[in-house]
Amino acid sequence: MLGQMGVQRFKELLRPATLLTKKILNRLRLAPNKSHLEYSGPFESWELAVASSVGYDSPYALHKVREGVESVLKNEKTYERDGTSFDQLPERYSLRTHIKNLLRENSVIVDFGGGLGGTYVNNSDLFSSEWKGKYFVVEQPSFCEAGTDMADTYDLPVIFTSDIKKIPMKPSIVIFSGVLQYIQHWGKVVGETLAKEPNYIIIDRQPLTSDDTLVYVQENDGYYKKKVSYPSRIINRIEFLSTFAGYEVIQEWKSDFDPDDHMGFLLKAAK
């Protein structure tokens, strides 16, 4: 057996390898992956999940998203997602592909739950000087206030509102990217959106199941500076798609960034 001095010497010999291992593990944690979401539950009701969570309206979430978006606006980074910024666009970026294919000179885009306009900022190169349309972001009031301030500061053609019913024109494209699962009355939101009669609806990063719809809490441990967690509903696929009455699915895909139960759909208004 090793004596006390032998153990100490053994630890010293291992230290360089241990530091290298830690560096590798840290890089792996920062790398994009498709299995990073952690949940607790299920809970019997949305209200119980709310009582067991901190909330997406936490100022720490807003601060992280603002830092990420501004890093792109300042040309320090190229792409932002969920408050994390990257040096380049992802190799597979389905949302961008569909926006590019559908965008027209006068397109009116409504980005529901669009944070601080990150999707526009990430893809601003698609909106040429010939584009004469409008870009709306529907968000909670604190994000609208911060987003409007950023739009003024960086001269962004993005309009923020907390109520889709107040948008005064027919949308060409509505985007729901990673948002409906976090809304208590998501069916009501879909109904209000369909009342605007958009031509196309892009759904992305939507967790679905073939089983019953259940409510969880998404934990996000270690992602924000402070604890931030919020209710999330994993919805039955048939229930979800049937809510979009009058629209047909013309394409679907698995999320580019999330676990394989997260889906994307391109919907078109049926004639």
Position 26 pLDDT exceeds 60: no
pLDDT of residue 128: 84
Mean pLDDT within 74-91: 93
Instruction: Say what percent of the chain tops pLDDT 90.
Output: 71
What is the tens place of the pLDDT at every residue in 184-220? Answer: 999 999 999 999 999 999 999 999 999 999 999 988 6
Domains of the chain and CATH, by start: 37-269 (3.40.50.150)
Tokens of residue 180, six digits: 């409906």
Phi, psi torsion values for 137, nearest 5 degrees? -120, 125
Of 49, 61, 34, nearest in space to 181 by CA: 49
Report yes or no: 257 and 93 within 8 Å, Cβ to Cβ: no
Structure tokens at 79: 């792409």
Are the beta carbons of 160 and 150 closer than 8 angstroms?
no
Residue 66 is predicted with a pLDDT of: 95
Written as six digits, the tokens of 27 are 């890089």
Token pair of 239 as six digits: 């229930």
The mean per-residue pLDDT over the stretch 53-59 comes to 70
Choose among 112, 90, 268: nearest CA to 180.
112
Contact in structure between 133 and 199 (CB atoms under 8 Å): no
For 194-209, give the DSSP string. HTT--SEEEEEEEEEE
Amino acid found at 37: L
Band of residue 19 on the pLDDT scale cut at 50, 70, 90 = very low
Its pTM stands at 0.84
97-115 mean pLDDT: 97
Question: What does the pLDDT average to over 228-242?
Answer: 93
DSSP string, 177-246: ES-GGG-TTHHHHHHHHHTT--SEEEEEEEEEESS--EEEEE--TTTSSS---EEEEEEEHHHHHHTSTT
Cα separation of 143 and 114, whole Å?
9
pLDDT digits (tens, 9 = 90+) for 127-152: 988 899 999 999 999 999 999 999 99
At position 251, the amino acid (one-letter code) is: Q
Which of 27-36, 61-70, 260-269 shows the highest mean pLDDT?
Answer: 260-269
Banded model confidence at residue 39, pLDDT cuts 50, 70, 90: confident
